[in-house]
Chains A and B, each alone.
Chain A
Amino acid sequence: MGWSYGGYMTSFVVTRTDRFRAASMGAGLPNLVSMVTTTDISDYLVAHMGGEFWDDYDTYEKHSAIYHFKNVVTPTQVIHGQNDVRVPFTQGQEFYEALKRKGVDTEMIVYPRTPHGPREPKFLMDVSERIAVWFEKYLEE
């Protein structure tokens, strides 16, 4: 499980291995190409990637979970804040829809009014519970 960059790593991990019984991606970014054109810090991402995506699709695709999606079998929970401009909501949506289409167990939890991480105390309490319940479901089997 992970949030933000940890969410990115979570999305990447489930394309690389089936060793985990379950995973949880919070505010993750599985698609670095669409991330560049939707995040509020595109310059940061482009600098990090070493150039624009149209000059180097290979690097962007190599590091984006969505381009290795065929391998995913791990039940993966997707959590995102609806008002996240850092890692836009659509990043979570892309992964969730792909999981659903591929028939991999998933659920998407969307927090309204929420930026790049829960702020309201009730949501902060809820998110811990949701993650714990998700893992319990698969670790008990």
Chain B
Amino acid sequence: MRKLTLPTVLLFIALALTTLSNAQDNIWTPETHMKVKRIGGTAISPDGEYVAYVVTSPVMEGEKSEYLSQIWVAAADGSFNLQYTRGEKSNNSPAFSPDGKQLAFISQRAEKPQVYMMRLMGGEPEHWVSPIPTSSL
């Protein structure tokens, strides 16, 4: 076996220390737990080209303590990944239309949760059906 030279030993020590300090930086705390965004509510377009999904993150500025969900749409080939809905109210449960050109979703933007439709490639959301009774959600 080759004899360990001083520079090699120093390198090992440096690597070990780096790993150790990284481990301390990565220590689990309630705060770090909150930084992990949750992914859910996925839907795949009928042609398999697009994936809609929901990203949920905490909002804790000032008195606020709530989760905000927004819909993202990504191309299955990885060529793009865009935030599809925005705003201070949550948008959930994406579903593609049978022709794949529109995306329906439930939004909290009005007083009660309602279903909206939006053209997959841009446009304003259209209110689609009357309010959903909260008890049925």
Contacts and interface: CB of A to CB of B under 8 A. Distances in A.
Interface string A116-141: 00011111111011000000000000
B20 interface: no
B67 A121 contact: yes
Contact of A123 (B31, B33, B59, B65): B65
Contacts, number: 24
Secondary structure of the A contact surface, majority rule? helix
Contacts of B67: 119, 121
A83 B59 CA distance: 22
Assign chain A's interface to a size class.
Answer: 10 to 19
Secondary structure of the B contact surface, majority rule? mixed
B65 A122 contact: yes
B60 interface: yes
Interface string A27-44: 000000000000000000
A121 B33 CA distance: 10
24 contacts: A119-B67, A120-B65, A120-B66, A121-B34, A121-B58, A121-B59, A121-B60, A121-B65, A121-B66, A121-B67, A122-B60, A122-B65, A123-B65, A124-B30, A124-B33, A124-B34, A125-B30, A125-B31, A125-B33, A125-B34, A126-B30, A128-B30, A128-B33, A129-B30
Given A121-B67, A124-B30, 11 more contacts: A121-B34, A121-B58, A121-B60, A121-B65, A121-B66, A122-B65, A123-B65, A124-B34, A125-B33, A126-B30, A128-B30
